Amino acid sequence: MHASPRNPLDLPEIRQRVCLFLATKDAIACALVCKDWTDDFISALWHTVMDSESSRKLVPAVISKHGQRIRVIKNLSKGGLVDKLQNASVSKLKSFSVTMAATSLWLAHIYDIIQRNINTLESIDLSLPLPVTPDLYFTADAFSPHTHTGATSKLTHLKIRGLRMTRNAFSRLLRTCPSLQHLDISDTVLQSIVFTDVYQHLTLSHLSAPIEQIFCVDASFTKASSLLLHFPNLATLETWQSSTTPSVSVDTIGKEIAQRCPNLNSVRAREGGLQLSNLLVYGTRNLTDIHVLHKHLSPELIMAMLTHKDTLKTVTTHLPSDDIFRSANVPSVNDHLTNSRWSVQILFSTCPPLQTFSFPSHEMHMDDVERFSWTCHDLEKLHVRFKDLNTKELINQALQMWVDGKRTKSGMKDKDTNSKADSKHPANDSMKDVPIDVRVARHLLRFEKLKCVWLGTKIWQA
């Protein structure tokens, strides 16, 4: 006889996966099935606590019973919930974010929560409202595990905003978080007058801070070393210009980066303007990744990117929302580079290493594309729009031809194009009667490694 197959939900591993995708009412119903199910589904219910009216009504006895199940606290903004989270059972957090207007007392309570969970916390977002209050100082000791436990901080992501911090406290923070990889100190006031503790963090790879804060840490103490002193292995610098008048010369920026961070290969810019162009041209060398806001794109900025044409692999722009990549509807085009679209084509024709290009708000003209010879033969990901490829039907037709062509590995042959996918483009005059979807598909098929394309609807994979 064959044994009856087990119900997949009899396995704890399956239940633990399923519970992550259930609505609250469904998780409650499952938790009432039996004792074995209770532990798994109750844990899912308590996994994440968001600061809401219902959360603030939680009674201490309930938190005492289930606090050890909480892993994520999101957007803590009210003092009432802070009081309740002082409960000793809340001791296994992995992620903790605060957005409240804190007083010294509330901040002390927040530090207590962090200290109690520092052995398990992996991500902390301590974002207080601006402007920075004069008497609110960051306390690095809260980020240090108790010495008697012998534990080491697991923190990898940290954001601090709206606090004051001495440079010595900054060094102590880095020392107590050896696993830290991503640090955002936007709108944190650093004071360097008394600066005796210099700690170099060897694993931090991503720093987010304005140019002035990095290179002119304390305006009242101009001899202070730049923050880059602490990060010899920095790979990604996310930065912007916080004042309208540049206070740091590009020569200073270039020398500091070359001396302190020789492995820097990625720049993510929150703002544009002359300072960013100068940073790319004079302050950095051999970048592989550049990320900017689309609204700040300009021919000057694109020309600055070309300084890294021999190493540049990824060029992307950031939009307010990534929803367009998941929508089946074709968004309208809002491209301020229409009259200078030639500058974008130069990127393709002069950057052989280019693998990822994401300008979802930029509209290319196939006449321009066929006039320029793209040298980026290793292109893998492309997110752009094409002029006249402006309906869902046309976009899907072009992408389907591309996918079909990739599958057959023989390119496209038809009487409209009378050409192989990898052949040299004929003169523009001979292309006037070729449908736009065919022209686009044939161009995409020139790139054998291309596997991810967005042209206005959802992302297609091949």
Whether 384 and 359 have beta carbons less than 8 Å apart is answered as: yes
Tokens of 271: 């703002």
Tokens of 118: 């520092």
Q: Higher confidence at residue 57 or residue 117? A: 117
pLDDT at site 15:
76
The pLDDT > 90 percentage for the chain reads 45
Residue in 297, 291, 299 with CA at minimum distance from that of residue 358: 291
Lowest mean pLDDT, pick from 206-220, 354-368, 400-414: 400-414
Residue 131 has pLDDT above 50, yes or no: yes
Lowest mean pLDDT, pick from 164-173, 297-306, 321-330: 321-330
Convert the pLDDT of each residue in 255-313 to its tens digit: 999 999 999 999 998 876 667 888 899 889 999 999 998 888 889 999 999 999 999 99
Residue 222 has pLDDT above 70, yes or no: no
Residue 130 has pLDDT above 90, yes or no: no
Lowest mean pLDDT, pick from 21-30, 118-127, 228-237: 21-30
Rounded mean pLDDT, 222-241: 88
Whether 222 and 195 have beta carbons less than 8 Å apart is answered as: no
Residue 127 has pLDDT above 60, yes or no: yes
Whether 104 and 135 have beta carbons less than 8 Å apart is answered as: yes
Residue 413 has pLDDT above 50, yes or no: no
- Torsion region of 195: left, alpha or beta (phi above 0 gives left; psi -120 to 50 gives alpha): beta
Residue 430 has pLDDT above 90, yes or no: no
pLDDT at site 227:
92
Confidence of residue 393 (pLDDT cuts 50, 70, 90): very high
Residue 415 has pLDDT above 80, yes or no: no
Confidence of residue 225 (pLDDT cuts 50, 70, 90): confident
Q: Higher confidence at residue 293 or residue 183? A: 183
pLDDT at site 22:
72
Residue in 73, 25, 68 with CA at minimum distance from that of residue 50: 73
Mean per-residue pLDDT of the chain: 84
Residue 362 has pLDDT above 80, yes or no: yes
CA distance readout (Å), 374 to 110, 181, 300, 350, 352 = 54, 36, 20, 8, 8
Q: Higher confidence at residue 320 or residue 383? A: 383
pLDDT at site 292:
92
How many Cα atoms within 13 Å fall on the side-chain side of residue 147?
1
Lowest mean pLDDT, pick from 21-30, 119-128, 265-274, 398-407: 21-30
Whether 448 and 411 have beta carbons less than 8 Å apart is answered as: no
Confidence of residue 460 (pLDDT cuts 50, 70, 90): very high
Rounded mean pLDDT, 45-73: 84
68 contacts: CB under 8 Å, gap ≥ 6: 89, 90, 91, 92
Rounded mean pLDDT, 360-373: 92
